[in-house]
Structure 1
Amino acid sequence: MKAADPPVPVPRKSGQPGQPESATLAGTPGPTDGGPARVTRKRGAGPLLPYLLIAPTIVAIGAVFVWPLIKTVIMSFQDVGRRELWTGEAAPWVGFDQFTNIFADGDFWDVVWRTVLFMAVCVTATMGLGLFLSMAMQRMAKGVRLALTGALVAAWAMPLLVATSIFRWFADSDYGVLNMVLTKYLGLDFRGHNWWLDPKQGFLIIGAVVVWGAIPFVTITLYAALTQVPKELEEAASLDGAGAAGVFRFVTWPVIKPVFQMIATLSVIWDFNVFGQVFLMRGNKPEPEYNLLGTYYYEKAFESNSFSQGAAISLITVLLLSGVAVYYLRQLLKIGEVE
């Protein structure tokens, strides 16, 4: 009797009953049939790789910020003199004596209140003028807006030394532009007027330098925030009878408020630590009535050789601004959540 012929394999389409979708031909060897296994494995980067990538940044931040802060804290509890500073010898520990002497000094509290008042005036002027200019930029022609933006960027890029030199020339008693304008065009007698004899007038010039240097950043940032305000909402509010003040209060302000608060917080930190404007405007040696916290602890550390006292005052300044810094971080987190 003749043997039956072996069955011929019949091709089957993927998806037929009893046939896996991955196979396209009956009898094709699979992983369990001795054929090559096609397994795609995702090779993980490893749990330590992200930390290794950011390690250089962490080291740089630690070297530039963390370690100096630690040294400042240590010095504030010591009595560091020239000998210990230059030779590296261990300075004697005095505990809280530096802080006790500082808090008992009436000049320190005068400087603190002067700094707070100066900061409040500068921040108010900066934010007010910056908001005004940013809103005015929305109504300018494109060419005028680009020219103003270029001028703001150029003013922002100007070095502090150049800016203070220009403002010192403006307020010069003999050849200053300010005295000339007030005398010639406004009919006031300011010939030979010295703006630095009265600290109030002197801080007016210093504050002008601070505000002038901060306005470009505030204006450009607020203008960017104003471009995010939906125009249809402003038009709808105007059609409903809201005036310009109402549109700004109920439509524009809620949109730009987070950015405004963030910039104002940064301005508080910057203006509280003003140093270069006062130091350069007063010829690298400010008078006691012109001292702010930034120049006060510099004077204590490097002119009076009270390095530990200067470190203690700088640490007090950091603690005073810590609350503002926390508020700034909270604003950043809120903006991130909204986005």
Structure 2
Amino acid sequence: MAPALLSMAVLLLYPLVRNVILSFQQLNRKEFITRETVWIGFDNYTELLGDPDFWSVVVRSIVFTAVNVALIMAIGTGIGLLLNRLGKKMRLVLSLALMFAWAMPIVASVTVFRWLFDEQFGVVNWLMRTLGFEGYEQHNWFETGFSTLVIIMILLVWGSIPFVALNMYAALTTIGSELYEAAKMDGASGWRTFWAVVFPNLKSFFMITTFLEIIWIFKAFAQVYAMNQGGPDRGSETLPVFAYIEGVGQFHYGVAAAISILTIVMLIAVMSFYFRLILKQEEEL
């Protein structure tokens, strides 16, 4: 285990410690150029915790994560169930389509979505006009932070569904066919079979997958920033983008470090909740 622990210490622990140290410093443009170290204690944290803009981004990030994870788990579970019922040929076709979506590079997928929602040449505006809707002549889908976040949400859901669906299908293969036969003999509907047979047997899968999706969506940076740089008017910023813009964009590196530490604390709080549930379930087994 020593090589793995050493590599984790170098790649994860050291940057984390350096980040904590930076969060207690004033490191703006002046200090960055002069290489001056100015210790200010908890001032960066108190400034953030008293900043209404910070709390707006926190609430936006939490709501954005919750909606994304709910959609990803619901649609991914549905497609996983579909894969379990399809024949071999159609299952292979759908699995390949899911793999292609999952393997697509982030920047390439963002470029495709920006083209789909383009103001002048976008497919979505053309489709809306074709369906008879008015007001979609050069409609700007990135005009507000809300609409920008909706597009990013569609992108994240589209890119995350394959992970849930393929793992769901793999997990379903562990459930014995006799359980389905017993439910069918009892006259259980599809929904009843899911809640009485599938969900209890795959509770660990749902908990761990939901836990992973919360982490991945909450810390999603590339999709949010590449789509519209957190705009317009910083209206689509989530916490990782907020930290990046404060640091690299505004040269407030100490504040950016404090934002990242607070983000980690929020994730740890969520992780502790899920770890307690997982440990409780293991004790019951």
With normalisation by structure 1, the TM-score equals 0.79
Aligned pairs for 1:24-103 within 5 A: 54-82=1-29, 84-85=31-32, 89=36, 91-103=37-49
Aligned pairs for 1:183-332 within 5 A: 183-184=129-130, 186-189=131-134, 190-282=136-228, 287-329=233-275
The residue type equivalent to 1:60 in the other structure is S
> Hey, what does 2:120 align to over in structure 1?
174
Q: Percent identity over the alignment?
A: 37
Helix, strand or coil at the partner of 1:290: coil
Structure 1, residues 71-90: CA drift from partner, whole Å, max 9, x if none? 1111111112345546655x
Q: What RMSD, in angstroms, separates the aligned Cα atoms of the two structures?
A: 2.1
- Tell me, yes or no, if structure 1 residue 159 matches structure 2 residue 159: no
* Counterparts in 2 of 1:286 and 1:336: CA distance versus 1, 3 Å: farther
- Distance across 2 between alignment mates of 1:310 and 1:125: 30
Structure 1, residues 83-135: CA drift from partner, whole Å, max 9, x if none? 5546655x121111111111111100111111111111111111111011011
Aligned pairs for 1:121-160 within 5 A: 121-160=67-106
The alpha carbon displacement at 1:332 in A equals 6.2
- Distance across 2 between alignment mates of 1:104 and 1:283: 25
Structure 1, residues 192-238: CA drift from partner, whole Å, max 9, x if none? 11111132222111111111111110110111111111111111121
Instruction: Determine which structure has the larger helix proportion and give its number.
Output: 2
* Counterparts in 2 of 1:338 and 1:271: CA distance versus 1, 3 Å: same
- Distance across 2 between alignment mates of 1:197 and 1:146: 40
The alpha carbon displacement at 1:261 in A equals 1.1
The residue type equivalent to 1:79 in the other structure is Q
> Hey, what does 1:20 align to over in structure 2?
none
Equivalent pairs counted in the alignment come to 284
Structure 1, residues 19-47: CA drift from partner, whole Å, max 9, x if none? xxxxxxxxxxxxxxxxxxxxxxxxxxxxx
Given that 1:258 and 1:331 are in contact with CA atoms closer than 8 Å, whether structure 2 keeps it comes out as no
The residue type equivalent to 1:73 in the other structure is V
The alpha carbon displacement at 1:325 in A equals 2.2
> Hey, what does 1:119 align to over in structure 2?
65
Instruction: Pick from 101, 110, 120 the counterpart of residue 56 of structure 2.
Output: 110
* Counterparts in 2 of 1:265 and 1:285: CA distance versus 1, 3 Å: same
The alpha carbon displacement at 1:338 in A equals 8.9
Helix, strand or coil at the partner of 2:200: helix
* Counterparts in 2 of 1:338 and 1:57: CA distance versus 1, 3 Å: farther
The residue type equivalent to 1:150 in the other structure is L
The alpha carbon displacement at 1:63 in A equals 0.8
Given that 1:131 and 1:222 are in contact with CA atoms closer than 8 Å, whether structure 2 keeps it comes out as yes
The alpha carbon displacement at 1:286 in A equals 5.9
The alpha carbon displacement at 1:55 in A equals 2.2
The residue type equivalent to 2:266 in the other structure is L
Q: Which of the pair has more CA radius of gyration?
A: 1
The residue type equivalent to 1:197 in the other structure is E
- Distance across 2 between alignment mates of 1:88 and 1:338: 56
Structure 1, residues 235-261: CA drift from partner, whole Å, max 9, x if none? 112112222221111111101111011
Q: Relative contact order: is structure 1 or structure 2 higher (C-alpha 8 Å, sep ≥ 6)?
A: 2
- Distance across 1 between alignment mates of 2:34 and 2:10: 21
Note the residue ranges of structure 2 that are not aligned, 5 or more in a row. Answer: none
With normalisation by structure 2, the TM-score equals 0.93
The alpha carbon displacement at 1:162 in A equals 0.2
Structure 1, residues 114-171: CA drift from partner, whole Å, max 9, x if none? 1111111111111111011011111211111011111111111111000000000000
* Counterparts in 2 of 1:299 and 1:157: CA distance versus 1, 3 Å: same
